[in-house]
């Protein structure tokens, strides 16, 4: 005889909870909305306190001697809980037929056993036998009308069969048994949303949040609906309506017992929408919820937050009331022949970046004088600093309208489309404050060679145009040896450079400058910077050889970004074609300029050394080796490609493939382009060989 045993213990419940509902069988169609389906699998119900006798039936389950688990219970007593556990284990192991055989053996002895029949229905659903599964679940609801999972399984089955009305009916029956169930409320909301009944969908979301306040997927979907509805209202010319939806979302966020990544992302998007509808106070309320999540180590009262207008240089100076000078600087023009060749060699989606170069060349440059500003500077962007220039905490100097910078701890968030407004938060304990009363020439800082050469160094041209800026000391942060060499080449004496690290110490990663009388140069458009760099630096090189050298700028000594995984193979291929391998980090600035000026062809991975294409001789060729994120129609790097194009040379590119799946790299989700730069790239030698043969056929020295 079988001995009675309590089969409702925690372990038995845990095992059955893994497979007791068809939620475990669903394929998520909308990942965000259905994430809970993959993680919440309720049990069949509690085990009965009863036992069954072994039923030695034949078939594949009885003869599975090669398996460690036996499909038929062994000789002797076995409880119902043990038999069901074994069936669940078979199902989990992908042995559906053996699990079904064991279920049928149990039902021969205990045909009224609802949990077993429900598991058998789950197996049938997983095999695509919907009618068989429906029959089994229907019998279960007759045997055990209070069996919640059976009703919900019927709802999921009807949904899979394309009968949403029947699915809603069964979900309501399930909800009558368990009114506080968040999953069922969410399922009803999604079903009504799918059939276009938005009002009913929202009603289920609202009721679900009230009855199951701790079920965060409901809050995610409801808040997401509010954000989309607000955007829709704004686009339809109804800013007050958009604000009302934002207020609904704010209530959901305030009452949330916890925050998922989805809710955190929604908070920033809602900040942006609130700014769009000109409700800055509402934006600050969203930010007050977000900030403790991003800066848990900082007391909320120690975080300053405020909305800002983002303005281009002339408008920023005018809004702040700064005295300033504006002028038109000479720019490197793109010769018509080169423009046509560049346009012909580039895909259509890159043309806007090429076409904007003449417009950039006409942009004026300038300098604000005696400006009282705050500069918030931090180590936000991997290996690059970012500086935010604030005037009265009302106006922020906008230098770029598009960026790939992301992160939960950056100070500027919620930037509106077109970069016209944003929200700023300043966790004061994380910043070293430096007050400087003396007049200084402020330059943004970066440890990156490319950004310093192309974006920072040309700003010292203001010393040539505005006499009162020449004696001013230049304020920089974290001055590197190559910075000093570049500044000296540009005519700035070493004694005029102030390194802020000397003021705050080497461990200051974030700074807040309060400058009383600053000269602030504007950003320099790329064609203007290109012309100025060539005019000032090229004449200082010692050699003047003909442009016949072929160079490979290897990153084998640079880590971790932009590495070529098969660097040695590529270097050997290039050597066979007359290239010499150079590691730029081992060279001085002037030495590097001299090499570039004598180059006929340069092959280089995308990276800091590509700044040296500025010094390529007229008619030279530059070959970019890059990862698959670059140079395709949907690349978010496209907006930056306008400053990756030699204005005097010819431009080529070749994308490799990642040496590893990006999803395997910590911190590099598909949308994080900066993190993906660390993944080594494999360049196809054959493809590079064909490209080089075509390039070298059009050089002065030929393919030899």
Count structural domains, the chain.
4
pLDDT of residue 644: 65
pLDDT category of residue 406 using cuts at 50, 70 and 90:
low
Least confident of 279-288, 420-429, 465-474, 493-502: 493-502
Mean per-residue pLDDT over the chain, rounded: 82
Asked if 646 contacts 653 with a C-beta cutoff of 8 angstroms, the reply is no
Integer Cα distance of 422 and 413 in angstroms: 6
* CA separation for the pair 121, 114 (Å, rounded): 10
What per-residue confidence (pLDDT) applies to 348? Answer: 75
What percent of the chain lies above the pLDDT cut of 70? 81
* Structural domain includes residue 308: no
Q: Supply the pLDDT for residue 637.
A: 63
* The pLDDT of residue 662 is above 70: no
Residue 312 is given by DSSP the state: -
For the chain, how far is it from start to end, CA to CA, in angstroms?
92
| C-alpha dist (Å) from residue 509 to 231, 377, 562 | 37, 8, 24
426 or 44, which is more confident? 426
Last residue of a domain, one of 496, 530, 564: 530
Q: Which of 212, 238, 256 is the last residue of a domain?
A: 212
- Same domain for 236 and 115: no
Residue 463: inside a domain, yes or no?
yes
Work out the average pLDDT over 303-311.
96
pLDDT at residue 301 greater than cutoff 90: yes
pLDDT at 12 over 50: no
524/619 same-domain check: no
Half-sphere exposure of 617 (CA within 13 A, CB side): 18
Q: Is the pLDDT of residue 679 over 90?
A: no
* pLDDT for the residue numbered 639: 62
Per-residue pLDDT at 399: 84
> What is the model's pLDDT at position 404?
47
Instruction: Supply the DSSP string of 373-435, one letter for each residue.
Output: EEEEEEEEETTEEEEEEEETTTEEE---S------TT-SEE-PPTTS-EEEEEEEGGGSEEEE
The full DSSP string for 317-365 is HHHHT-EEEEEPPP-----HHHHHHHHHHS-GGGHHHHHTHHHHHT--E
Asked if residue 405 has pLDDT above 70, the reply is no
Tell me which residue range forms the domain holding 384: 316-329+364-388+425-530
The residues facing 191 across adjacent strands are none
> Rounded CA gap, 480 and 493, in Å?
15
pLDDT value for 477:
85
Which backbone phi and psi does 434 adopt, to 5 degrees? -125, 120
The Cα 147–Cα 376 span in angstroms is 60
For residue 564, give the DSSP letter. B
Q: Among 45-49, 192-196, 322-326, whose mean pLDDT is lowest?
A: 45-49
* Ordered alpha helix ranges (H), 10-57: 10-17, 31-39
Go through the chain and tell me how many residues it has: 704
Tokens, residue 167 = 């699915």
**What's the pLDDT at 54?**
26
Least confidently predicted of 132-141, 312-321, 530-539, 638-647: 638-647
Determine the pLDDT at residue 543.
74
**Calpha distance 258→237 (Å, rounded):** 34
* Residue 3 confidence (pLDDT): 24
User: Is residue 25 in a domain?
Assistant: yes
Q: How far apart, in whole angstroms, are the C-alpha atoms of residue 224 and residue 226?
A: 5
Q: What is the CATH number of the domain that holds 579?
A: 3.40.50
Does the pTM surpass 0.85? The reply is: no
**Are 643 and 526 a contacting pair, CB within 8 Å?**
yes
What pLDDT is stored for residue 324 in this prediction? 97
DSSP state at residue 582: E
1 domain-assigned: no
Exposed, middle or buried, 663 (CB in 10 Å: 0-12/13-18/19+)?
Answer: exposed
Compute the average pLDDT of residues 103-115.
90
pLDDT of residue 666: 55
Is the bond preceding 560 in cis, omega lying within 30 degrees of 0?
A: yes
pLDDT single digits (tens) 135-171: 999 999 999 999 999 999 999 999 999 999 999 999 9
Please tell me the predicted confidence (pLDDT) of residue 484: 94
* Lowest mean pLDDT segment, chosen from 432-441, 527-536, 638-647: 638-647
- Does 199 reside within a domain? yes
Instruction: Identify the weakest region by mean pLDDT among 348-357, 388-397, 430-439.
Output: 348-357
What's the mean pLDDT in 692-704? Answer: 77
Among 212, 238, 270, give the residue marking a domain's end: 212
- Pair (570, 513) in one structural domain: no
Whether residue 567 sits in one domain with residue 430: no
Distance (Å, whole) CA 37 – CA 209: 17
Shared domain check, 643 and 675: yes
In 3-state terms, what secondary structure has residue 97? Answer: helix
Spatial contact of 593 and 609, defined as CB atoms under 8 Å apart: no
Please list, residue by residue across 285-315, b when 16 or more beta carbons sit within 10 angstroms of its beta carbon and e when fewer do: bbbebbbeebbeebeeeebebebbbbbebee
Q: How far apart are CA 123 and CA 132, in angstroms?
A: 10
Give the 3-state secondary structure of residue 71. Answer: coil
Q: Are residues 162 and 79 in the same domain?
A: yes
- What pLDDT, on the 0 to 100 scale, is given for residue 275? 96
One domain, residues 613 and 486: no
Q: What single DSSP character describes residue 67?
A: S
Judged by average pLDDT, the poorest of 220-234, 281-295, 558-572, 686-700 is: 558-572
In a domain, 394, yes or no: no
Q: Mean pLDDT throughout 450-457? A: 93
123 pLDDT above the threshold of 90: yes
Same-domain check for residues 481 and 583? no
Both 190 and 251 in one domain: the answer is no
Residues 49 and 173 occupy one common structural domain: yes
Q: To the nearest 10°, the Cα dihedral for 6, 10, 13, 19?
A: -140
Residue 86 pLDDT exceeds 80: yes
Dihedral sign (CA 573, 577, 582, 584): negative
The label of the residue with tokens 């064991």 reads 102
Residue 16 has pLDDT above 50, yes or no: no
Tell me: do 227 and 287 sit in the same domain: yes
Helix (H, G, I), strand (E, B) or coil at 69: coil
The answer to whether residues 524 and 451 touch, using CB atoms and an 8 Å cutoff, is no
Task: Tell me which H or E stretch contains 158.
Answer: helix 148-160
For residue range 40-68, list pLDDT tens digits in order: 332 333 333 222 222 222 222 322 332 33
Q: Quick one: pLDDT band at residue 505, thresholds 50, 70, 90? A: confident
CATH of the domain at 58: 1.25.40.10
Give the pLDDT band of residue 276 (cuts 50, 70, 90): very high
- Report yes or no on 263 lying in a domain: yes
Residue 350 has pLDDT above 90, yes or no: no
Residue 360: is its pLDDT beyond 80?
Answer: yes
Residue 465 located in a structural domain: yes
Contact assessment for residue 202 and residue 226, using Cβ atoms and an 8 Å cutoff? no
pLDDT digits (tens, 9 = 90+) for 180-191: 999 999 999 999
Q: Given a cut of 90, is residue 69 above it in pLDDT?
A: no
What is the DSSP annotation of 421-482?
EEEEEEEGGGSEEEEE-S-EEE----S-HHHIIIIIGGGGGHHHH-GGGTTSPEEESS--HH
Based on the fold, state whether residues 488 and 556 are members of the same structural domain: no
Tell me what pLDDT residue 26 has.
Answer: 35
What pLDDT shows up at residue 39?
A: 28
| Contact between 308 and 319 (Cβ < 8 Å) | no
- Measured CA to CA in angstroms, residue 383 lies from 513, 559, 589, 639, 643 at distances of 21, 11, 20, 20, 19
């Amino acid at each position: 005889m079988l001995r009675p045993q309590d089969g409702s213990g925690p372990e038995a419940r845990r095992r059955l909870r893994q497979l007791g509902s068809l939620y475990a069988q669903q394929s998520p169609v909308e990942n965000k909305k259905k994430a809970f389906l993959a993680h919440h699998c309720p049990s069949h119900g509690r085990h009965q306190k009863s036992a069954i006798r072994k039923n030695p039936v034949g078939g594949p389950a009885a003869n599975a001697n090669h398996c460690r688990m036996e499909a038929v219970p062994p000789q002797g007593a076995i409880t119902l809980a043990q038999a069901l556990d074994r069936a669940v284990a078979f199902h989990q192991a992908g042995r559906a037929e053996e699990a079904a055989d064991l279920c049928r053996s149990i039902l021969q002895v205990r045909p009224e056993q609802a949990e077993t029949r429900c598991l058998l229905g789950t197996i049938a659903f997983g095999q695509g036998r919907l009618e068989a599964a429906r029959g089994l679940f229907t019998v279960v609801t007759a045997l055990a009308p209070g069996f919640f999972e059976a009703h919900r399984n019927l709802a999921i089955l009807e949904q899979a069969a394309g009968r949403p009305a029947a699915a809603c009916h069964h979900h309501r029956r399930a909800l009558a048994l368990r009114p506080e169930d968040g999953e069922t409320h969410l399922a009803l909301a999604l079903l009504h949303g799918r059939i276009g009944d938005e009002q009913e969908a929202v009603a289920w979301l609202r009721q679900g949040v009230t009855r199951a306040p701790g079920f965060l997927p409901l809050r995610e979907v409801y808040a997401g609906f509010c954000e989309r509805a607000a955007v829709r209202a704004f686009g339809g010319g109804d800013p007050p309506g958009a604000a009302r939806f934002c207020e609904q979302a704010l209530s959901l966020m305030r009452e949330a017992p916890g925050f998922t990544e989805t809710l955190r992302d929604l908070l920033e998007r809602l900040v942006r929408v609130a700014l769009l509808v000109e409700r800055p106070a509402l934006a600050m309320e969203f930010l007050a919820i977000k900030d403790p999540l991003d800066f848990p180590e900082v007391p909320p009262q120690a975080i300053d937050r405020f909305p800002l207008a983002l303005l281009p240089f002339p408008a920023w100076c005018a809004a702040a009331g700064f005295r300033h000078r504006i002028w038109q600087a000479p720019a490197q023009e793109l010769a018509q022949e080169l423009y046509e060749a560049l346009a012909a060699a580039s895909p259509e989606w890159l043309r806007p970046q090429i076409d904007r170069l003449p417009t950039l060349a006409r942009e004026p440059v300038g300098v604000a004088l005696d400006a009282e500003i705050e500069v918030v500077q931090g180590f936000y962007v991997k290996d690059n600093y970012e500086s935010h220039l604030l005037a009265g905490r009302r106006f922020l100097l906008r230098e770029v309208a598009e960026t790939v910078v992301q992160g939960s701890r950056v100070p500027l968030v919620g930037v509106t489309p077109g970069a016209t407004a944003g929200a700023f938060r300043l966790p004061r304990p994380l910043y070293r404050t430096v007050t400087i009363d003396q007049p200084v020439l402020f330059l943004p800082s970066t440890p990156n060679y490319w950004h310093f050469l192309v974006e920072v160094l040309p700003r010292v041209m203001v010393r040539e145009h505005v006499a009162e800026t020449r004696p001013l000391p230049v304020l920089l942060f974290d001055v590197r040896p190559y910075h000093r060499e570049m500044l000296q080449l540009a005519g700035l004496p070493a004694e005029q450079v102030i390194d802020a690290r000397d003021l705050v110490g080497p461990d200051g990663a974030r700074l807040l400058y309060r400058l009383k009388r600053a000269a602030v140069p504007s950003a320099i458009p790329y064609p203007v910077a290109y012309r100025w760099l060539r005019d000032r630096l090229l004449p200082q090189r010692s050699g003047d050889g003909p442009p016949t050298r072929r160079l490979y700028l290897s990153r084998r000594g640079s880590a971790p970004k932009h590495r070529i995984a098969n660097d040695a193979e590529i270097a050997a291929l290039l050597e066979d074609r007359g290239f010499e391998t150079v590691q730029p980090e081992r060279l001085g600035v002037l030495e590097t300029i001299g090499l570039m000026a004598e180059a006929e062809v340069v092959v280089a991975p995308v990276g800091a050394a590509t700044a040296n294409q500025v010094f390529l001789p007229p008619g030279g060729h530059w070959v970019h080796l890059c990862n698959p994120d670059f140079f395709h129609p949907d690349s978010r790097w496209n907006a930056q490609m306008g400053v990756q194009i030699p204005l005097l040379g010819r431009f080529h590119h070749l994308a490799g493939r990642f040496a590893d799946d990006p999803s395997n790299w910590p911190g590099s989700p598909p949308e994080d382009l900066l993190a993906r730069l660390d993944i080594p790239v494999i360049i196809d030698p054959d493809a590079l060989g064909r490209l080089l043969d075509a390039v070298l056929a059009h050089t002065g020295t030929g393919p030899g």
